[in-house]
């Protein structure tokens, strides 16, 4: 069983790399963005609950996100492991993930951060916004706001996973294949 947390600022390549790694290591990719979209589109109880917070202009509480994630893990009992993309975003979420995985006899084997300069990421996101039509990738001030939120809330995860001896950082700049090789070099050394 191999469970990975992949994180980095918006545009760092998490989704792209998670898609490659899930095939290479036979893992289930759990993207919280995809989970939210699935649950809200299909009007599940959790999706409707999340939508009610969003409609009110509030942040969705951690517990709703954790419940969605738990359901997804439990839907895949035969999985060789999971890649968590976009979760955890805070230390409280990381603690909740650890508790949940422990209850299933599992753990996070490693956490890998894709590092890249804000200027490079801004250009990537603006380009992605042109191609995808995503409004949050077309406005530089919104992009920079997302970076600030990442620095405030998600960067402390580095300390959380460093204290567990599970944090690894690689450059997210370069060809997709090069970045995959850097990630694989770390993943192949993780304790199973």
Binding residues for ATP: 11-16, 128, 174
Distance CA 166, CA 7 (A): 13
Residues in the annotated binding site: 11-16, 32, 37, 58-60, 86-89, 93, 128, 134, 146, 174
Distance CA 124, CA 145 (A): 16
Both tokens assigned to 49: 């609950």
Residues in the annotated binding site for AMP: 32, 37, 58-60, 86-89, 93, 134, 146
**Alpha helix segments (H runs only) across 75-175:** 91-103, 118-132, 140-149, 157-163
Distance CA 175, CA 180 (A): 9
Distance CA 125, CA 122 (A): 5
- Range 97-120 burial, b when 16+ CB lie within 10 A, else e: bbebbeeeebebbbbbbbebeeee
């Amino acid at each position: 069983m191999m469970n990975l947390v992949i994180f980095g600022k918006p545009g760092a390549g998490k989704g792209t790399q998670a898609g490659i790694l899930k095939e290479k290591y036979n893992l289930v990719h759990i993207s919280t963005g995809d989970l939210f979209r699935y649950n809200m589109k299909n009007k599940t109880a959790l999706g409707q609950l999340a939508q009610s917070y969003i409609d009110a202009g509030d942040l969705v509480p951690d517990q709703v996100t954790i419940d969605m994630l738990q359901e997804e893990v439990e839907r895949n009992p035969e999985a060789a492991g999971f890649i968590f993309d976009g979760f955890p975003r805070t230390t409280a979420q990381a603690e909740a993930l650890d508790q949940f995985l422990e209850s299933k006899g599992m753990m996070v084997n490693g956490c890998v951060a894709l590092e890249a300069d804000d200027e490079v990421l801004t250009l990537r996101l603006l380009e992605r916004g042109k191609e995808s039509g995503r409004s949050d990738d077309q406005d530089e001030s919104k992009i920079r706001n997302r970076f600030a939120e990442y620095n405030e809330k998600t960067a402390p995860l580095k300390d959380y996973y460093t204290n567990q001896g599970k944090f690894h950082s690689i450059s997210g700049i370069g060809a997709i294949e090069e970045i995959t090789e850097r990630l694989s070099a770390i993943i192949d050394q993780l304790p199973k």
